[in-house]
């Protein structure tokens, strides 16, 4: 596959870490929330193996925050998601599909409840701030909505705990998964969550004080040598194996949360008020007609740049492959596909055409691992 | 400057033209409305000279449409823009800044009035559809909001008129600037506007019927040989010389329309209802504190990837350079900058640091040409 350059401009915003990662060998970018998100430091597979064994520092500033504060903030946040947040607690993160009135997914952020009147929506790639502003204006809600100056630095991998302990002490190892708290670094408080875009464990540091954050970035590399620290970024292979769904890749506004397997984040039976609730009830009654499933192919390579048709024996389209990579763990290509009913059953055979050749794949459950 | 690759994935959507432009030699992409937008076919300067003399076909499918239809559609479209659309006519395009309640710019689309109850908002790079949906839901407007299957193909350059006449006949040469109409191509109607992201003249074909559009694409190249037709894309040099402002580059949500020189598109004295009207009145009374201006530097090269500080003699920051390129027309670097009051006067000297060296520039009026 031919590679193409990315044309740089102010519109594809740099991050506070950009000059550093460029010295550290970033080779490819993607664009996420109008911002550069590093996508490779050389070989994806080398980076994958390293991430699973050691620790990496990631510039994930592209995960922007939508800050909603004020008297009606809880009401607005709840209005946007089908997940019941009525019993949510300060200092906790919540994975919350955001849907519209037709129950189409708009984003799948992690929502941080800072307190009852202040929330951060840590967004995937769509302008949730515009949806929130539109809803707030239309409903005359008493809220303030901004994109705060927050640039997340992630510390990911099994050695992240030891590395972070060296800086923040024992207290940080006690942080629960999806919990967050404030930690001091040389006199500056940083909001840190035990979370991240990998299943190898780690933290996300919500850097508000850029100067202190950059100092911390440099320090982590300096003192992380004993743990073989390297720069990295969300890794395509790791995230597919771990089945961390990606908005825009695995799902989009044409899909509803039931189709994406988000059942446990849908609370249609509670008293909460959210958009698309009636539509979700209808969908639940009628049943879904497509569903995200895993697929495994006995091939050693794939370059997916857009949806690929999955067909049956008679060349009928029965599904759409949306993400895929070669998995070193399974020693085959694995992918995430939206399968039509009734072809989503495990072991269903699918056919895919790559460079004029047809290969067989088999439907499997998600997550892969 | 080092070049970086773009990491491909379904989330950075391809267009119906992608496979064609890749065969035709596209070398760089940018991302626009979550879609690949070609940014270079080899040398920018060669492409600039060609565009000014001949004709180019552009894949600008990234200019997505937000279709707003239904009883309250005119009300919603007007609510989003400070430009008075009460006297707008079917078959006309309108450049309309979209602003929020604080008068911060959200987008600067071209709005097409298809009829009183159906509008297309041809957007710059932000998810206007989410703003429109939020406003419609909050206000309980009777509208339908979708992103229709429209992939614009632009025909730009002085020879575009002759080329299009060969396909659509005399009628198309009578289309006025920013007018649009439906034209038949082998039995399929295409909405075509006299418009485009260059000032070299031309058309934008709003392709809804993909199959017919691709046939037309191929035909234009075939019959365009006599006009030296080439593939192209919005050209950085041409657009800066012509001062076609770019949302995200030259302005963003932190700027208001007065600061961007959009005075003629602001109608605070009419009876129309739009967001940010009171704020705009206040801004007009108090006066703006920053303003977009041109800058010329006696240097031969610049690579702008993010905002660059402009300083005075005493190293105070007096402005921010947001777009810049070497202009073959002026034989110097030209750029668009947000200048602080009172440093926006023509002939104001600014200093810029590039690779450790300081250069002088001079403020000038916009547009450059």
- The pLDDT > 70 percentage for chain A reads 100
SS3 B7: coil
Query: For residue range A260-287, what is the model confidence (pLDDT) as tens digits?
Result: 999 999 999 999 999 999 999 999 999 9
Are A305 and B127 an interchain contact pair (Cβ–Cβ within 8 Å)?
no
A–B: how many Cβ contacts below 8 A? 181
Q: How far is CA A189 from CA A94, A161, A171, in A?
A: 22, 19, 14
Q: Is any Cβ of chain B less than 8 angstroms from the Cβ of A134?
A: yes
Confirm or reject contact between A126 and chain B (CB < 8 A).
yes
Interface of B with A in 142-171 (CB under 8 A): none
A72, pLDDT greater than 80: yes
pLDDT at A164 > cutoff 90: yes
Q: String of b and e for A4-14 (b: at least 16 CB within 10 Å)? A: bbbbbbbbbbb
Where residue A130 falls (left for φ over 0; alpha for ψ -120 to 50; beta otherwise) is: alpha
To test the contact with chain A by mutation, choose from B130, B240, B292 the residue with the greatest count of A C-beta atoms within 10 A, namely B130
Q: What is the dihedral of CA A153, A156, A159, A161, to 10 degrees?
A: 60
Mean pLDDT of chain A: 98
| Contacting residues for B109 by C-beta, under 8 A, at least 6 apart | B66, B95, B96, B98, B121, B122, B123, B124, B128
Q: In this model, does residue A12 exceed pLDDT 90?
A: yes
List residues bridging with B349 in a β-sheet: B362
Mark which residues 206-225 of B lie under 8 Å from A by CB.
none
SS3 A226: helix
Q: Does A188 touch chain B (CB under 8 A)?
A: no
Q: List chain B residues with CB under 8 Å of A26.
A: 4
- What does the pLDDT average to over B336-355? 97
Q: Give A101's contacts in chain B (Cβ within 8 Å).
A: 133, 137
- Chain A residue at shortest CA distance from B274: A137
DSSP string across B214-258: HHHHHHHHHHTGGGT-EEE---HHHHHHTT---BTTTB-TTS-TT
Confidence at residue B290, expressed as pLDDT on a 0 to 100 scale: 98
Q: How far apart are CA A192 and CA A208, in angstroms?
A: 11
Q: What is the sign, positive or negative, of the torsion defined by CA atoms of A153, A157, A159, A161? A: positive
Q: Provide the pLDDT for residue A288.
A: 98
Work out the mean pLDDT of chain B and round it to a whole number. Answer: 98
Q: How much is the pLDDT for A2? A: 86
- Does the beta-carbon distance from A7 to B26 stay under 8 Å? no
Contacts of B278 in chain A (CB under 8 A): none
**What crossing angle do the helices spanning A210-223 and A160-168 adopt, rounded to 10°?**
120
Sequence-distant (6+) residues with CB within 8 A of B226 are none
β B65-69/B118-122 pair status? antiparallel
**Residue A30 near residue B6, CB atoms below 8 Å:** yes
pLDDT tens per residue, range B246-287 = 999 999 999 999 999 999 999 999 999 999 999 999 999 999
Q: What are phi and psi of A326, to 5 degrees?
A: -80, 130
How far away is chain A from the Cα of B293, in angstroms, using its nearest Cα?
17
Query: What's the pLDDT tens digit per position in B187-229?
Result: 999 999 999 999 999 999 999 999 999 999 999 999 999 999 9
For position B161, what pLDDT does the model report? Answer: 98
Q: What is the pLDDT of residues A211-243, one digit of tens each?
A: 999 999 999 999 999 999 999 999 999 999 999
Given an 8 Å threshold on Cβ–Cβ distance, is A29 in contact with B5? yes
Give the per-residue pLDDT at B96.
98
Residue A254 has pLDDT above 80, yes or no: yes
User: How far is B6 from A20, CA to CA, in rounded Å?
Assistant: 19
Q: Max CA-CA distance within chain A?
A: 66
Report the residue of A7, A105, A131 to disrupt the B interface, i.e. the one with the largest count of B CBs within 10 Å: A7
User: What pLDDT is attached to residue A66?
Assistant: 98
**Degrees to nearest 5, angle at CA B90 with B87 and B93:** 85
A74-89 tens-digit pLDDT? 999 999 999 999 999 9
Tell me the pLDDT tens digit for each residue of A182-206. Answer: 999 999 999 999 999 999 999 999 9
Q: Which residue has the tokens 């990911």?
A: A156
pLDDT band at B45 (very low <50, low <70, confident <90, very high): very high
Q: Is the pLDDT of residue B1 over 90?
A: no
B144-166 pLDDT, tens digit per residue, is 999 999 999 999 999 999 999 99
Torsion angle (degrees, nearest 10) of CA B111, B115, B118, B120: -20
Residues of A in contact with B28 (CB under 8 A): 4-7
pLDDT at B127 exceeding the cut of 80: yes
- Spatial separation of the C-alpha atoms in residues B125 and B32, rounded to whole Å: 5
- Alpha-carbon distance B225 to B215, whole Å? 16
Q: Is the pLDDT at B52 greater than 90, yes or no?
A: yes
Taking 90 as the threshold, does the pLDDT of residue A292 lie above it? yes
For A:321-340, CB contacts with B below 8 A are 322-323
pLDDT digits (tens, 9 = 90+) for B72-108: 999 999 999 999 999 999 999 999 999 999 999 999 9
Cα distances from B139 to residues A136, B69, B120, B134, in angstroms, run 10, 15, 20, 8
Q: Chain-centre distance of CA B162, in angstroms? A: 24
pLDDT band at B351 (very low <50, low <70, confident <90, very high): very high
DSSP B8: P
Nearest to A231 by CA among A220, A239, A241: A220
Mutate to test the interface with A, among B134, B143, B278 (most CBs of A within 10 A): B134
> Does pLDDT of B59 surpass 80?
yes
B365 pLDDT higher than 80: yes
Whether the per-residue pLDDT at B2 is higher than 90: the answer is no
Q: B29 at the A interface (CB within 8 A)?
A: yes
What sign has the CA pseudo-torsion B234, B319, B259, A141? Answer: positive
Average pLDDT over residues B20-47: 98
Contact check, Cβ <8 Å, B138/A133 = no
- HSE-CB at A119 with a 13 A cutoff on CA atoms is 29
Contacts of B229 (CB under 8 A, 6+ apart): B54, B55, B56, B57, B159, B163, B220, B221
């Amino acid at each position: 596959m031919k590679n193409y350059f990315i044309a740089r401009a102010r519109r594809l915003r740099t991050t506070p870490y950009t000059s550093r990662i460029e010295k550290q060998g970033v080779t490819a970018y993607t664009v996420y929330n109008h911002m550069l998100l590093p996508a490779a430091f050389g070989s994806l597979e080398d980076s994958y193996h390293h991430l699973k064994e050691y620790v990496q520092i990631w510039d994930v500033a592209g995960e922007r925050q939508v800050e909603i504060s004020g008297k009606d903030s809880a009401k607005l946040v709840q209005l946007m998601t089908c997940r019941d947040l009525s019993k949510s607690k300060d200092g906790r993160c919540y994975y919350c599909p955001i849907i519209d009135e037709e129950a189409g997914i708009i984003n799948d952020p992690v929502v941080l409840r800072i307190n009852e009147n202040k929330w951060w929506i840590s967004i995937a790639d769509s302008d949730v701030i515009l949806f929130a502003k539109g809803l707030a204006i239309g409903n005359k809600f008493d809220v303030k909505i901004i994109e705060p100056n927050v640039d997340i630095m992630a510390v990911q991998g099994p050695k992240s705990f030891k590395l972070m302990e060296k800086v923040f002490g024992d207290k940080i190892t006690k942080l629960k998964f999806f919990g967050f708290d404030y930690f001091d670094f040389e006199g500056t408080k940083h909001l840190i969550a035990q979370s991240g875009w990998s299943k190898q464990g780690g933290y996300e540091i919500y850097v508000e004080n850029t100067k202190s954050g950059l100092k911390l970035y440099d320090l982590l590399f300096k003192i992380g040598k004993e743990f073989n620290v390297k720069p990295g970024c969300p890794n395509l292979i790791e995230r597919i194996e771990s089945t961390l769904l990606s908005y825009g890749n695995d799902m989009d506004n044409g899909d509803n949360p039931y189709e994406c397997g988000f059942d446990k984040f849908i609370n249609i039976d509670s008293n909460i008020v959210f958009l698309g609730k009636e539509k979700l009830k209808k969908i639940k009654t009628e049943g879904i007609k497509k569903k995200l499933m895993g697929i495994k192919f006995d091939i050693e390579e794939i370059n997916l740049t857009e949806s690929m048709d999955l067909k049956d024996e008679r060349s009928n389209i029965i599904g759409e492959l949306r993400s895929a990579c070669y998995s070193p763990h399974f020693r085959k290509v694995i992918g995430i596909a939206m399968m039509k009913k009734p072809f989503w059953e495990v072991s269903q055979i699918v056919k895919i055409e790559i460079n004029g050749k047809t290969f067989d794949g088999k439907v499997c459950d998600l997550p892969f691992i």
